[in-house]
Amino acid sequence: MKVQNLLQELKEKPEYKTFQTQNPDALFSAAFLILDLEYGTNQIQLDFYLPKQNEIAAFEFPFKAPKIHDNIISVSSTGETTPAKPKPMSKQTTKIKIDIDKLESKCKELIKENESSIIPTKIIAILKDDIWNLTCMDNALGIVRIKINAVSGETQDFNKGSLMDFMGIKKK
């Protein structure tokens, strides 16, 4: 599976054609995926930034009408949640070296190279600003976070921990 193929499939849908007619300035800006390696299922969302409205339109697979997100939730240092406008997003390229079909093998390769013991059962992947932000999880609450430049294939960051670390829970 490739991002370019998903975009092509989306562009053939009548819902997208209507959306594009109403939003000719829309930019493909991000992809969000949950790859369930254990059960072989995927959740896919393609996001389009609407610069004039400063909103994000999200198409979820199997692609139907988009959900428009005109705000995001911001959490303050005191724990209060407030609506916030999304930050302007740039166009995401689809000419990438590391694509969806290579994410699992690339994650496993990097996990082995970095001597982590987790065996990923889920990969949460966000493609934005030409960077794959990957969170690999196993059934024992182990987590590895990886950043990969999608265009060059270079690893930018590798960080291992547990779900408790990820959630910021501290032991007493």
Q: What is the pLDDT of residue 90?
A: 86
CA distances from 32 to 16, 77, 125 (A): 18, 26, 6
Q: What is the pLDDT of residue 107?
A: 93
* Average pLDDT value for residue range 45-69: 92
**Lowest mean pLDDT across 37-46, 51-60, 88-97, 143-152:** 88-97
Place of tokens 């369930």: 36
Read off the pLDDT band of 73 (50, 70, 90): very low
CA–CA separation, 146 vs 115, rounded Å?
14
Q: What is the pLDDT of residue 81?
A: 54
CA–CA separation, 10 vs 105, rounded Å?
26
Read off the pLDDT band of 23 (50, 70, 90): very high
Q: What is the pLDDT of residue 60?
A: 96
pLDDT per residue as tens digits for the range 113-128: 998 889 999 999 999 9
Q: What is the pLDDT of residue 75?
A: 46
CA–CA separation, 103 vs 111, rounded Å?
12
Percent with pLDDT over 90 in the chain? 65
Q: What is the pLDDT of residue 166?
A: 58
Which one is predicted more confidently, 75 or 100? 100
pTM: 0.83
Q: Is the model's pLDDT at 150 over the cut of 80?
A: yes
Each domain of the chain, given as residue ranges in start order, spans 3-167
Q: Burial level of 143, CB count in 10 A (0-12/13-18/19+)?
A: buried
Q: What is the pLDDT of residue 135?
A: 93
If we measure between CA atoms, which residue out of 93, 86, 73, 124 comes closest to residue 7? 93
